[in-house]
Each structure stands twice: as structure tokens, then as C-alpha cells.
Amino acid sequence: LGTRGNNCLDAAKACNLNDNCKKFRTTYVSPCTTRISASEICNRRKCHKALRHFFDRVPPKYSYGMLFCSCRNTACTERRRQTIVPICSYQEKEKPNCLSLAESCQTNYICRSRLADFFTNCQSESRTVSGCLRENYAGCLLAYTGLIGTFMTPNYIDSQSISVAPWCSCSGSGNRKEDCDELLNFFMHNRCFQNAVQAFGNGTDVNLWQHMPPA
Amino acid sequence: RRRRRRNKGCVLKEIHLNITDLELGYDTQEELMFKYCSGSCEVAETTYDLILKNLTKNKKLGQDNVQPRMCCRPTAFEDNLSFLDSHMAYQTLQRYSAKKCGCV
């Protein structure tokens, strides 16, 4: 990785030179960037569905390459943040409370199971070498990408770090403030997940990737 | 099949380019494979082509600007292509690259 290198750009180039990745990338970018009326910038439901197809059907080599690329400048981190077309798939006018968002998630079977996978596979544990309770970075990244295209769609929250969160806040939590903070911190300050992203970006987790089933 | 054998000069080729090489006004560093149709269509494929060829040869059509020969052109286009430009906006190209070629 050179100082002027942009791994996220390199990953985008690799995607468009691969017929399968190119096809599924376009298949989500189109609904996620097509305005449907004066008030709605896109069809969020279609955008989410196409994003789920992209992460379900494109090999991690390409999809993770764009989502978990390692960066040294903002041109790179901003590109990484734009991978999921956040203006459609992520941001909304208002930020709901994280606990309410999780409750909505529980009403949908895809969201409910994928959120449970994320909590299981990205559980931090300070006494392990990996920082994960289940020492399996691939499992954690797979669980994270599984959330993209659900109510709990997460994204990078700034261009400085690899801190992620769903589009929600803990204001208005009342007497459940601690529960809410715990939920949000599982995303924002998750050592297991952050180590997994770093290992993928640095290519230092080669052994684990070889054991991944082909997508 | 007959068409392909007689006009085997018309083929699909591909070239690896920067999207800026297309000069469509996009500011991006992303790249693509551009596929295009290349080659000639020498043999008259249809009776229409044969008639036009004969009429132009015998100067029966006066000054009319007719194309008496088939052209090697895309008969199908590639799937759309999306990319992120330098202003962090997504762009999508449609009917931008050939998928199949034929003498038409």
C-alpha cells in the first residue's frame, strides 16, 4: 500500500472488470440512485433488496474488497463509506432511537436472524488473540455484511476510523439508556469487528479466508 | 450461421480503458472493459443489399446517398455499468458496450 494508493478505488476497478461483480454492483446502484418522486430520493426497499443480493451473490474477494478496504486518505475512506449508497440505503431525515430500530428489526425474520448472527459472531473477548470470542474474523465480517439491506443497515460513521453504526441514536431512551448505549457501542466500539476489518484490509488473515465457503 | 461464415470478418473485440478515455465528460478514476464490433461485411446478405449494390453500380439511384453494404454493428449490448465519480456521485452507463456483433 503506497502513500498515494487507494485500495477502495483498486477494489472498484477489480469489480467492474469482473462480469459477476459488475452486474450485481450496477443492479444495486441503479435502484439506490434512481429518484422516484419529488419527495422520495429512491425506492429504499428495492435498494435494500439489491444490496442483499450483491453481498449474497458476489464473492467476498470483490464485495469485501470494496467494503473493508484499508485507507490512508479521505478520498479512500469517503469512497468506502459510499459503497452502500448511504444517501438511499442508510440516512434518513430523522435518527430513530436504536432500541426502537432493533424492535422493528425483530418483526422481520431476515433482520432478526442477521442481527442475532452479528451479536454472536462479532462478540468481543479481550483474552483472545483475535479480540473475538469466536476466533473467526470471516464469520464476523459475513455477519456484518448480512445486516446491509435490513432495517439495521450499518455504515462507517466518519472518515477517520473504522467505527460503524446503524442510522440511530440513544436520545430519548428514558430508563433504557444503558441498554441502548450497549447496543450502539456493540457497533461503534467493537474490537472484534474492527480487528476483523483491519485483518482483511491488511491481508493478514489469509488462513481464515481460505476456509470460507465460496459465495 | 450462414451469415457468420460469410462475414467472418465482423467480430467482437475488447479493450481495457479508463472511463475518462471515453470522453463522455465523467470525472473518475474507475476503469472498464469496452467491447466493440470490428471488421467488414463484404458479402451482400439480403436481396435488399444485392439490389442496392446493383442499382448503385448501374447509377440508377442518381445522387442518393445509400449504403449498399452491411455494417459490422452491435446486435446486443452489455449490461449497464455503474461507477463512482470523483465527486462521490454514482453514474450508470447504458448501451455503452457491445455484447454481440453482426452485419446489419
Phi, psi of A132 (to 5 degrees): -110, 145
Task: Look at A22 and B88 and tell me if their CB atoms are within 8 Å.
Answer: no
pLDDT confidence of residue B1: 41
The arithmetic mean of pLDDT across residues A196-203, rounded, is 91
Q: What is the ipTM of this complex?
A: 0.87
* Ramachandran category for residue A62: left, alpha or beta (phi over 0 → left; psi -120 to 50 → alpha): alpha
Average pLDDT on A100-110 reads 96
- Nearest chain A residue to B34, by CA: A17
Residue A215: pLDDT band with limits 50, 70, 90: very low
Q: How much is the pLDDT for A160?
A: 82
B103 backbone φψ class: left, alpha, beta (φ>0; ψ -120 to 50) = beta
Q: Give the whole-number percent of chain A exceeding pLDDT 70.
A: 93
Cell of A163: 467505527
- Which chain A residue shows the shortest CA-CA distance from B31? A13
Predicted confidence (pLDDT) per residue in B41-71, tens digit: 877 778 888 888 889 888 888 878 887 788 9
Closest partner CB to B29 (pick from A9, A23, A26) = A9
Please give the backbone phi and psi of residue A173, each rounded to the nearest 5 degrees, phi first: -85, -15
Residues of B in contact with A5 (CB under 8 A): none
- Closest residue, chain A, to B30 (C-alpha): A13
Q: What is the pLDDT of residue B52?
A: 87
The residue with cell 448511504 is A86
Predicted confidence (pLDDT) at residue A22 exceeds the cutoff of 50 = yes
pLDDT value for A17: 96
Q: Could you report the per-residue pLDDT of B16-30, keeping only the tens digit for each?
A: 999 999 999 999 999
Q: Indicate yes or no: pTM above 0.90.
A: no
> Under an 8 A CB cutoff, do B30 and A85 touch?
no
Q: What is the mean pLDDT of chain A?
A: 92
Residue A159 DSSP one-character state: S
pLDDT in tens, A29-63: 999 999 999 989 999 999 999 999 999 999 999 99
Q: Give residue A191's pLDDT.
A: 95
pLDDT at residue A2 above 50? no
Could you report the per-residue pLDDT of A130-150, keeping only the tens digit for each?
A: 899 988 999 999 999 999 999
Say yes or no to pLDDT of A13 above 90: yes
Run of H or E residues at A136: none
Which chain B residues have any C-beta within 8 angstroms of a chain A C-beta?
A: 16, 29-33, 79-84, 88, 90, 92
Q: Which residue has the cell 440505503?
A: A89
Residue A58: all three cell numbers together: 458476489
| Paired residues of B17 in beta bridges | B32
- Per-residue pLDDT at A142: 97
Distance of residue B96 Cα from the nearest chain A Cα, in angstroms = 13
In the predicted structure, residue A85 carries a pLDDT above the cut 90: yes
Q: Is the pLDDT of residue B5 over 60?
A: no
Q: Which grid coordinates are listed for A16?
A: 467492474
